[in-house]
Amino acid sequence: MALKAGMWSGGAAHHLGGAAHLLGLQAIDNWRRVTPKVSMSDWRLERAKGRRSDLSDSRSRMKKDENSSFVMPTSSFLPSDFAEFKSCNPYTKPLSLTDLPVSGHGCNLRIAYQGCPGAFSEAAALKEYPHCEAVPCEHFDVAFKAVELWLVDKAILPIENSSYGSYHRNYDLLLQHRLHIVSEVQLQVDHCLMALPGVRKKELKRVLSHPQALGQCEIALNKLGVIKESFDDTAGAAQLIASKGLKDVGAIASAKAAEIYGLHILENQLQDVSVNITRFLILAREPVLPMTDRPFKTSIVFILEDGAGVLFKALTVFALRNIDILKIESRPHRKQPIRFVDDSYYGTAKYFHYLFYIDFEASLAEPRAQNALSNLQEFVSFLRVLGSYPIDTSL
């Protein structure tokens, strides 16, 4: 069967040449050649040499992408006293799209995450790379951009939780950006209820945290009878309470966040289910080379062709080759949300148009995985490999 032109993004079509071809140098070169790259500009070279280039000149060179700039934090020191933290670290505010890069840290591995110091994403990054420099970002898309602009080496983002489900927005970001999943991290998440020192639990009127954390602690919060308010991230909620001196407000965050911002823990392990695990994905500009020496997982996204039972047929290509499907997630197709009876924009609406994300247990170095994806193309109008990476079996 001939491959459909432009069907696989990120050079995944090269996997169909067989395992030997895949593992050859030419295959590696072909795969990486199609990966989008951003050349380091002069100001980054200056910074890597320890010199600070002229700011106005840097701004002129960055004029073409003014919304993709960042400030890199200059300290990894995390004192327990919040006032001391603010005085010694001028970049307590996470990176945003309007910041300009002003400093560097040599050749250390830099991992971008969404949130403030003390976030669970930071803990997951340090679990995978104990000696990395974790770089806080204001939003998830900022973390993606930081990798694309070579300001950091990799980004980490949560993708699903064992008790509260998927982080749907992050699935959309995987498709919007051209990064590759290179590994996964599973982290036991223990939520703590915290407040300013001297504040008692019964004095709390509101509790701030990320929507996922609020959902994971819903039963305990309902018993407490407080107003639940969503915040961008767990550690950011703790930081806000400490910086504003909010005496009747609590936060749900990590024990590390309480230590960093000088808050008192009122209750440990607040989550509704004691075994509460969040799975994180690590993304990079370049994919990892699929191997067969250990368990691998492959993540893909596709859009189905019209037809009766087409989803069943698409999933059958994996079952016929004894490939386990580990997860299926569907997301509305934002650019074409409704399918029509006559496949035009002038017919009668028929049903929603979906993107399907699938994780399956196989490496793209295996012929069975290559053949499954080749067969899958008979039933899809779009297919993209997001990554083939080792399975995390540790907790």
Helices of type H across the chain:
19-22, 25-33, 42-48, 55-61, 82-88, 120-128, 140-148, 168-176, 211-216, 218-224, 234-244, 255-261, 310-319, 367-376
Q: How far apart are CA 356 and CA 240, in angstroms?
A: 37
Q: What angle do CA 285, 288, 292 make, to 5 degrees?
A: 165
- What is the maximum span of the chain, computed from C-alpha positions, in angstroms? 70
393 classed as catalytic: no
User: Which of 85, 144, 280, 360 does the annotation list as catalytic?
Assistant: 280
Q: What angle do CA 95, 96, 102 make, to 5 degrees?
A: 60
User: Which of 278, 296, 302, 382 does the annotation list as catalytic?
Assistant: 278
Contact status, residue 183 vs residue 392, Cβ threshold 8 Å: yes
> What are the residues whose beta carbons fall under 8 Å from the beta carbon of 384, sequence distance 6 or more?
8, 9, 10, 12, 175, 300, 301, 302
Q: How far apart are CA 68 and CA 237, in angstroms?
A: 25
Contact status, residue 395 vs residue 186, Cβ threshold 8 Å: yes
Q: How far apart are CA 37 and CA 314, in angstroms?
A: 32
234 classed as catalytic: no
In the chain, at which residue ranges do the beta strands (DSSP E only) sit? 8-9, 110-114, 133-137, 154-161, 165-166, 180-188, 192-195, 206-209, 227-230, 249-253, 264-267, 277-284, 296-304, 325-332, 338-340, 349-352, 354-360, 380-390
Query: Token pair for residue 212?
Result: 């996922």
Query: Token pair for residue 8?
Result: 């696989």
Return the amino acid letter for 12: A
Active site residue ranges: 278, 280
